[in-house]
Amino acid sequence: MKVSRRLMVGRATFLLWNAFTSLLLIAISPQPHRGAADAFVSLTAAPSVQKQLRYSCKRQRHIDFALLAAKLTSEEVKARLDDSIARLREKDKKTKLTDPDELKIVFEDDHLVVIDKPVGVLSVPSEPGVPSLIESVFARYQKQQAESPATCKANITHYEPITKMHQMVVHRLGMETSGLIIFAKSLEAVRKLNTLFRTRKITRQYEALVCGHVTSKTHGLINLPLMRDYEYPPYMRISTDEHQRHLLELNVTMVGRKLLRAPLSSLTHFQVLGLENFRNSTDLPVTRLTLTSISGRTHQLNVHCAAYGHAIVHDLVHGFKGEAAPYGGLAFEETISNDRASLELQEQLYEATQGDRMCIHCKLLRFKHPCTKETMELTSPASF
């Protein structure tokens, strides 16, 4: 099968790149403070050898893990995918429509606008007719253009205005994620912002509440590759060798190329901000984290937190009783952290947060302005 050969070549390239980035990141990662011997942890997984490497400044341990992949047929995978897509489309229809005049503008000039996105709003429409944030942003932009056409400034030599809604989009936030999101206001800005995201020159930091107290480490790097989960399509999971092998047995025409893509290296840095009790309760411990998305993969932070053993509070996809594979696709006892949140605690938090929002918010964007070259650092406080 032609796709099998392409997949194998892609995975071989991925393995080499994963090994290189793992060594590089270990070398350049910040060193722990004196007296905090166990403060730094780096977690990496290479699909070829199925090893989970855990580093601290005093020791290095290797923990083997293997997951037995379910042998689903292409027809079964396609049926699951169709069912999931249908449910997601129904969920998307519940998105809120934001009044263009009520958008919370954090920064704006002739080249770009940064919005503080509310929770429960799609960044872009999943299908025609579904409301989304970009619809309101584009309507506001069109009104600005009609009232006072933008002029050429800074390094934009030939100003090319945006003419279509989708042209403003350079990245996205999930519907249940609030916080800072950038939209471009010229084609030149689109190209330059896309380059900044592609080369990882835009820092994105999130604040999150996760289940349980993270006490064993104060900060660290999670380096676990992601893949599409054919058992719970179209969601993401931690890539394993067993699951990768089974992809070669699936029919690309039936399940689609996206599901058969090679694993993606995925890097998340976490920093413990504080140990808390949810809503000041005495028996619902949670941890407030700063999460830095280095690689920016789809659902990366959600999957990594779940695989670490501390799912994001009220994550109805990757958390307790979620729609995706639990614990990022790992078994409960194979989650990374030694102080993983217990099943009992996860269930209690699940019950206590019914009707609430998912506790994750993009609180900081740091980048060099694509046109003025000014260093930008924009912030937004979390509401939880």
Question: 163 Cβ partners below 8 Å, 6+ apart?
Answer: none
Q: Quote the pLDDT of residue 103.
A: 97
- pLDDT(331) > 80: yes
Q: Mean per-residue pLDDT for 227-250?
A: 95
> Which pair of tokens denotes residue 98?
């934001």
Q: Which residue has the higher pLDDT, 204 or 157?
A: 204
Task: Tell me the per-residue pLDDT of 193-208, one tens digit each, with 9 for 90 and over.
Answer: 999 999 999 999 999 9
Q: Quote the pLDDT of residue 32.
A: 35
53 vs 177: CA distance, rounded Å: 30
- pLDDT(223) > 90: yes
Q: Quote the pLDDT of residue 158.
A: 63
274 vs 214: CA distance, rounded Å: 9
Return the minimum-mean-pLDDT range out of 49-53, 224-228, 259-263. Answer: 49-53
Beta bridge partners of 55: 42, 60
Residue 257: how many other CB atoms lie within 10 Å: 11
62 vs 140: CA distance, rounded Å: 54
Instruction: Compute the C-alpha angle 296/172/84, nearest 5°.
Output: 90
Task: Tell me the per-residue pLDDT of 286-330, one tens digit each, with 9 for 90 and over.
Answer: 999 999 999 999 999 999 999 999 999 999 999 999 999 999 999
Q: Quote the pLDDT of residue 53.
A: 31
Q: Quote the pLDDT of residue 71.
A: 83
Q: Quote the pLDDT of residue 66.
A: 36
Q: Quote the pLDDT of residue 80.
A: 97
> Position 367: which residue type?
F
Q: Quote the pLDDT of residue 8.
A: 55
Task: Tell me the per-residue pLDDT of 20-47, one tens digit each, with 9 for 90 and over.
Answer: 554 444 443 443 333 322 333 445 443 3
163 vs 168: CA distance, rounded Å: 9
Q: What percent of the chain has pLDDT over 70?
A: 79
Tell me the average pLDDT of the chain.
Answer: 85
Q: Quote the pLDDT of residue 28.
A: 39
Give Cα 350 distance to the centre of its chain. Answer: 21
Q: How far is CA 217 from CA 25, 191, 337, 368, in A?
A: 18, 39, 9, 32
Q: Mean per-residue pLDDT for 257-265?
A: 94
Return phi, psi of residue 337, to 5°. Answer: -75, 140
Task: Tell me the per-residue pLDDT of 103-136, one tens digit each, with 9 for 90 and over.
Answer: 999 999 999 999 999 999 999 999 998 999 999 9
Q: Quote the pLDDT of residue 143.
A: 93
